[in-house]
Amino acid sequence: MPHESGKVARKLLVTQYTYIKIEIVYVFMISDPVFNRNMSILIKNTRINQKNQDILINEGKIESIAPNQNENSAELIIDGTKTLALPGLVNTHTHAAMSLLRGYADDMHLQEWLSEKIWPLEAHLTGEDVYVGTKLACLEMIRSGTTAFNDMYFFMDHAAQAVDESGIRAQLAHGIITFGDPEKFAAEQKATKELVSCVKKMKNQRITAAVAPHAPYTVPPEHLKWCAEFSEKEDLGLHIHVSETESEVQSVLEMYGKRPAFLLDECGCLTKRTVIAHGCWLDTDECALIAKRGTSVAYSPCSNMKLATGRALPYAELKAAGATIGLSTDGCSSNNNLDMFEEMKFASLLQKSFWNQDTVLPAHEAFRMATECGAKSMRLRSGILAIGAPADIILASLDHPSMVPLYNDTSNVVYAASGGLVETVLCDGALLMHKHMIPGEAEILEKAKATATELISQVS
Amino acid sequence: MPHESGKVARKLLVTQYTYIKIEIVYVFMISDPVFNRNMSILIKNTRINQKNQDILINEGKIESIAPNQNENSAELIIDGTKTLALPGLVNTHTHAAMSLLRGYADDMHLQEWLSEKIWPLEAHLTGEDVYVGTKLACLEMIRSGTTAFNDMYFFMDHAAQAVDESGIRAQLAHGIITFGDPEKFAAEQKATKELVSCVKKMKNQRITAAVAPHAPYTVPPEHLKWCAEFSEKEDLGLHIHVSETESEVQSVLEMYGKRPAFLLDECGCLTKRTVIAHGCWLDTDECALIAKRGTSVAYSPCSNMKLATGRALPYAELKAAGATIGLSTDGCSSNNNLDMFEEMKFASLLQKSFWNQDTVLPAHEAFRMATECGAKSMRLRSGILAIGAPADIILASLDHPSMVPLYNDTSNVVYAASGGLVETVLCDGALLMHKHMIPGEAEILEKAKATATELISQVS
């Protein structure tokens, strides 16, 4: 130890420090796999649309929104003081289990990234890995205020199990890639049907299945047609990547002589149940067609920027045509997180920047995109705080410098907040996070770390 | 209350909930205006460059970085388990007090935004408002891991007071706008000299003064020359907006027949002490000139995107020329927060997107920009974790789903983290935040809210 002569002076200064003992008492759910949507809950004194309100939740739904409600009306009281109540956010396109690949390969050219890094690692993924990765993703989503997501990956029965345990909503689909190979197609049909059957058996109203042909350049028209027919017959969502890059649009044009949206329409894939991911390179006619069909688009600004897709979503054109546009993070290997607050800011700023228009996609539109429009595109009744709506509610702290002052709640939410401000999350009327605490979080994180270590050891 | 018949069932389910009592004991500094840089501190078991290390801090500097150091060597022990130690982030261009204008006016055309909203409100700002706004900004910066910033605004003696009390570092400058008016110029010279004198009197090594001609289109060459001479004579930083928009470049070309960087060079303003804010529209020759002069650039991706400046910083050209490039948030009315973690992600993704290159500005360069390069541009010795460097250190939580797995620390920091993960902050060897707690935070937030309410009442 140098500075021995300064010891006395320093010791005296220690008196400037003291111990502060803080005792916190939380009401919290014991880690329980059956989420309790039957509990009546009253959120007291939270802020909704610039006013202080109480929200009464019963049987998984919002029963009333009004100030000064009777505390006897509920079995559990949550103090919402200094919080802003928002609908749970809806992530309309992701690959949840790719959370396990977060930070594994960045800053590479797209093709090398896929062929040298992502695909070789994915070749080793097991159903258990997908379960663990989806648990990690759900945990991150809950932490950052997302209560529903639209997923496309594989081993989706394992993903369903993870979602069931996590307490949030998801529409799950097995990603179908055939490149026209009949054997591959038969296997993908089987996987899709098995997932549908698995989800039906679960009888969990938070979980639905969908059909997910990967993209028009990886799944030929005859297979796309089966996807359209099967999803219609079973009343399932349809989830597909469309026009993320210019080169895939060129491929489709060369192979089929028409642009992707028109090809999809011919195959019956543009429905009200369909979510198109990306859509960066949609042209004006395609935007109009998509809107006309009632098909939704999932905008993934971070992913599009990080992978340099070369064009931003033609938001103004889609909006003018009347299309439903939801917001999405894409998977963690191309983002690298699932924070929909951050995504709202990227959504607005990318439009302003790319199209060189400082007024395009204002805060309130980015917010609707992440809530109401996303819910609509997944055929959910959540995404709004209204009587009778599902109680998918998040409370974001206002007791943070980035939320002060509060001239405009939505501006602060979109441009200044981050997912870390979310302190309480309810989905389907069940309490998933309270005061930043999630039961079982430590175990999920440890398991994810171990799984990632094991996974990477197989490719290195 | 409806559903009365369900009451019994619901009551039974209450047993699934329980009270968990958590007792937290913090070691913390009593709110004290004199920050204690003389305390020796040992951070135990934190992660640096993929390894677990202890950091010993003495007399405001890093004395050693090694595992398993003796706990008797320090007066205060901080447990760094499950944290990543990083240098405090450096924000090289902001207008701190504009935190009071956060969310006041968004999604507007630049000129209307300035003339109808920002300027009328700023006309009512008092020195006390600037003090309160700067306190709020410092609080937000500390919370999100920033320990030094480069500021340009007015009533800067009040800003200096706020920085002094907040415990972080700043280079403060009075923004000089003259439009060639000699009287205005005299007043701006006076304000600048008074600030320099005020900062000298404070004798606070964390605070320095700078000279800040607003921009080449608002301050004519004869006044720019005075700024260059005065800053050289007093050995002060020089802080100026340059080439944020295409139209201001056109103005300079029309007024003076040369591009802004060449005009500034003729006036002696391109020095090693100079920080150029924005620089979106710099051309190749200007990039080379700036690098040659050792002048730094402050890149503000969020602000540039939000205000649709029409072009992203020519990062690759500046880098190839060897220029020092720091990172910055700009003021809160054009961002709308001061989170440098978020800014790192925007920095990288905007370059990839705008220049359509998926490998440009990789994570490690964004991180250096926000730390080492920023420190260099402000002539600070911070921005690195090394023996002898100032103890400007932040600990970011690894106990969060967005930081799992941890294949690549820097990738996670830049692409997945947010400022909310920062739990402990030291600046100049003094502890400013510990386990997310900052002494006096509640009072600063309440004062900022009241000040904002008062301010807005004067224009509405």
Q: How close A186 gets to chain B, by Cα (Å)?
A: 35
- B116 close contact with A: CB closer than 8 A: no
Could you give the CA distance from residue B8 to residue A150 in angstroms, rounded to a whole number?
36
Q: Identify the band that residue A413 occupies on the pLDDT scale cut at 50, 70 and 90.
A: very high
Whether B214 shows a pLDDT value over 70: the answer reads yes
C-alpha gyration radius of chain B? 23
Among A34, A349, A399, A444, the strongest candidate for a mutation testing the B interface, having the largest count of B CBs within 10 A, is: A349
Contact B95, B153 (CB under 8 A): yes
Buried b (16+ CB within 10 A) or exposed e, A296-317: bbbbbbbbbbbbbbebbbbbeb
At A65, list the tokens.
């929104």
Question: ipTM higher than 0.90?
Answer: yes
A138 and A161 in contact (C-beta within 8 Å)? no
Integer Cα distance of A305 and A307 in angstroms: 6
With beta carbons under 8 A apart, name residues in chain B contacting A37. Answer: none
Taking only residues 314 to 373 of chain B, the set having a beta carbon closer than 8 angstroms to any beta carbon of chain A reads 332, 335-339, 342, 345-346, 348-350, 352-354, 356-359, 362-363
Give tens-digit pLDDT for A286-318.
999 999 999 999 999 999 999 999 999 999 999
Nearest Cα of chain B lies from the Cα of A258 at a distance, in angstroms, of 26
Contact A59, A38 (CB under 8 A): yes
> Does B281 map to a domain?
yes
**What percentage of chain B has pLDDT greater than the value 90?**
87
The CB density around residue B70, as the number of other CB atoms within 10 Å, is: 10
Average pLDDT along chain B: 92
Give domain status of residue A359, yes or no.
yes
- Nearest residue in A to B451, CA atom: A405
Distances (CA, A) of A231 to A200, A361, B291: 14, 32, 59
Mean pLDDT, range B24-45, rounded to an integer: 66
Query: Which residues, in sequence order, are CB contacts of B140 under 8 Å at separation 6+?
Result: A401, A402, B99, B337, B338, B339
In a domain, A25, yes or no: no
Domain assignment present for B384? no
pLDDT digits (tens, 9 = 90+) for B291-306: 999 999 999 999 999 9
Percent of chain A with pLDDT strictly greater than 70: 93
Kindly report the backbone phi and psi dihedral angles of residue B125, in degrees, each rounded to the nearest multiple of 5, phi listed first. -65, 135
Average pLDDT of chain A? 92
Task: Provide the number of CB pairs (under 8 Å) joining chain A to chain B.
Answer: 330
Q: Select from A30, A337, A455 the residue whose CB has the most chain B CBs within 10 Å, as the one to mutate to test that interface.
A: A337
Mean pLDDT of B10-27: 40
Give mean pLDDT, residues B264-293: 98
**How many structural domains compose chain B?**
1
Contacts of B11 in chain A (CB under 8 A): 75
Among residues A176, A70, A172, which one has the least CA distance to residue A130? A172
Q: Work out the pLDDT band at A155, boundaries 50, 70, 90.
A: very high
Q: What is the pLDDT of residue A93?
A: 98
Q: Which residues in chain A are contacts of B26 at CB distance < 8 A?
A: 19-22
**pTM tops 0.90, yes or no:** yes
What pLDDT was estimated at residue B17? 45
Residue B244 — φ and ψ, nearest 5°? -75, -45
Taking an 8 Å cut-off on Cβ atoms, the answer to whether B17 and A76 are in contact is yes
Cα atoms in the Cβ-side hemisphere of radius 13 Å centred on B288: 3
Say if B75 falls within a structural domain: no
Domain annotation covers residue A437:
no
Which residues of chain A does B335 touch, with a Cβ-Cβ cutoff of 8 Å? 415-416
Domain contains B207: yes
State pLDDT tens for residues A1-14.
333 333 333 333 33
A30 located within any domain = no
Containing domain of residue A227, as a range? Answer: 89-377
| A362 Cα to chain B: minimum distance (Å) | 5
What's the pLDDT score for residue B111?
A: 82
Q: Check if B23 contacts A (Cβ < 8 Å).
A: yes
- Which CATH number goes with the domain that contains A198? 3.20.20.140
